[in-house]
Structure formats: C-alpha cells, structure tokens
Structure 1
Amino acid sequence: MSASPPAAPFSLTQLKTGSSALIVGLSEDAPVEVTTRLRHLGFRAGNVVEARRRAPLRDPVMYRLLGYDMCLRANEACHVSVVAL
C-alpha cells in the first residue's frame, strides 16, 4: 500500500469556514512586525487552526487557535501557510 502524497500548502485566507488546517510556516517575505505579531498570537508551525466565522464583507475572519477565538485580517492571514487536515 502506497502512502498518499503530502498535501500542498496554501494560504490561511483560502481556508473554508468550518475547516481546520495545520500551520506549516510563515511567509519569508512578510514584514517583520507582521511575523512577530503572528508568532505572538500562536501562529507557529505545528499548531492547528480552524476558520470559524467570516465578517459580512469576508474580512476579518475569526479563527480558533490554541483554544481561543481571534480575528485576523486577510492582509495578515495571507502570510500564514497551512495544509488541510
């Protein structure tokens, strides 16, 4: 029996509401202040994140991470790479 190929990473902004994903990293081209904020909020490789709700205009999105809910705008979420679970 062969193993399935690993899932391709995609941006957190593409995660559908109600779906969970595993964080694989942050963009190398993200501004330092954005990566610092994301790391402080818990957006680190190995953590699981779930898209919970979207605002009426689709931004920001409420994510569940490390047992708490938080909102993140698309201009920051685009720097988080995830793979589907």
Structure 2
Amino acid sequence: MCVGCRVSAEQAELVRVAPTASGLVVSRTAPGRGAWLHPGCGAAALKRRAIPRALRADAVDPAQLAAVVAQVDALAATWANQGSSD
C-alpha cells in the first residue's frame, strides 16, 4: 500500500524507502522496516507525514526526507518515459 495515496498496488509499481545508519535510502532490498510509495506520491506522503510514521521513526531529518521524496518523484518521470516508448 502506498503511504502517500493509501491505494493498494502491486509491489512492482511501488518504490520502497528504508532507514539505514547513514539515513534514508530508496531500496527494495534494504533491511528493516520500509515505507512503500508510488513514484509521484512523495508530496502527498510528506503532507500526511506518512513516511516517518510508516518507519516508526521519531526523528527524521526534514532535508534528507525531502531529498528522498525528490528521488522517488524523479522515478515517476523515468517510469513514465519508459512506458511511453513501448
């Protein structure tokens, strides 16, 4: 389920954000709790404060969170371009 729009989707359609010792990363295989998002739902997830809640993290650096959301939203454009070339 996307934490931004709260719509269930196939795992292949979602991007996973996970915490590491160095901060947040976009990775399907990082260990531990993760937050799943549709590419493009980053702004909604930020507005709802859904990523820290899904990660059960009390303190998430806002600058790092914004950078990861920008990375997730950039994937939306990449995935859209791949789909239009078929």
Question: Which of the pair has the greater relative contact order for Cα pairs under 8 Å at 6+ separation?
Answer: 1
Query: TM-score, normalising length from structure 2?
Result: 0.30
Query: TM-score, normalising length from structure 1?
Result: 0.30
Structure ranking higher in helix proportion: 2
Structure ranking higher in strand proportion: 1
